[in-house]
């Protein structure tokens, strides 16, 4: 009787399966089969030294990149304040075209761009599509008309500290230097 190679392979696989079952019952299956499948399993994985090296590289990257990101964020706040002051100036120009004058602080200042002052007749607003925003640091814009720097109102963002004067991020952003 001649046995085909296919039959021999099946028999061999059955014997291996039975041997594996015996190891399961003997309680040694897990260790034996892991080593058979992955003979280098002890060498795989990450050591503590490798993990520390990776963490050090990440920390250095963050230490070098984070300050430049914050500087860009601060520059964006200054740019946003200048843009908002320009928007106020545009809306105030439309207000003046309709009423003949700029709103005074007693008439509500910048709020007169949203809400009609009681003593103004030719008001055709609102001149701002949304409520009057705060500056990028969360402070109210200062408004003064008549202004101290020409015929137009003075609009001021007091910067990061919310106080008059200052340097760098705390410097005032003003309408008369915004052009």
| pLDDT tens-digit map of 62-90 | 888 877 776 667 788 888 888 888 888 88
Q: Is the pLDDT of residue 34 over 60?
A: no
Give the helix, strand, coil percentages of the chain, each rounded to 5: 55, 5, 40
pLDDT at residue 38 in the model: 55
Q: How confident is the model at residue 37 (pLDDT cuts 50, 70, 90)?
A: low
- At 153, phi and psi to the nearest 5? -65, 155
Stated pTM of the model: 0.59
The rounded distance, in Å, linking the Cα atoms of 45 and 51 is 10
pLDDT at residue 29 in the model: 47
Tens of pLDDT, residue by residue over 122-175, are 888 788 888 888 888 888 899 998 878 778 898 889 887 877 877 877 788 888
The rounded distance, in Å, linking the Cα atoms of 139 and 131 is 14
pLDDT higher at 26 or 16: 16
The rounded distance, in Å, linking the Cα atoms of 38 and 31 is 11
pLDDT higher at 119 or 34: 119
For 64-113, the DSSP string reads HHHHHHHHHHHHHHHHHHHHHHHHHHHHHHHHHHHHSSPPPTTTTGGGGG
Domains recognised in the chain with CATH numbers: 5-43 (no CATH), 73-177 (3.30.700.10)
Q: Are the C-beta atoms of residues 113 and 129 closer than 8 Å to each other?
A: no
């Amino acid at each position: 009787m001649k046995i085909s190679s296919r039959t021999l392979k099946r028999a061999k696989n059955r014997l291996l399966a039975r041997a594996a079952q015996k190891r399961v019952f003997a309680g040694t299956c897990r260790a034996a089969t892991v080593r058979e499948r992955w003979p280098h399993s002890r060498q795989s994985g990450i050591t503590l030294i490798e993990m520390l090296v990776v963490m050090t590289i990440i920390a250095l990257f963050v230490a070098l990149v984070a300050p430049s990101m914050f500087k860009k964020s601060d520059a964006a706040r200054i740019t946003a304040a200048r843009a908002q002051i320009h928007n106020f100036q545009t809306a105030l120009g439309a207000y003046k075209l309709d009423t003949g004058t700029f709103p005074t602080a007693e008439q509500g200042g910048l709020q007169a761009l949203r809400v009609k002052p009681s003593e103004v007749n030719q008001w055709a607003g609102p001149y701002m599509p949304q409520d009057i925003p705060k500056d990028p640091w969360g402070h109210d814009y200062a408004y003064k008309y008549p202004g101290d720097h020409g015929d137009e109102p003075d609009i001021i963002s007091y910067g990061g500290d919310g106080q008059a004067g200052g340097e760098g991020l705390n410097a005032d952003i003003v309408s008369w230097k915004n052009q």
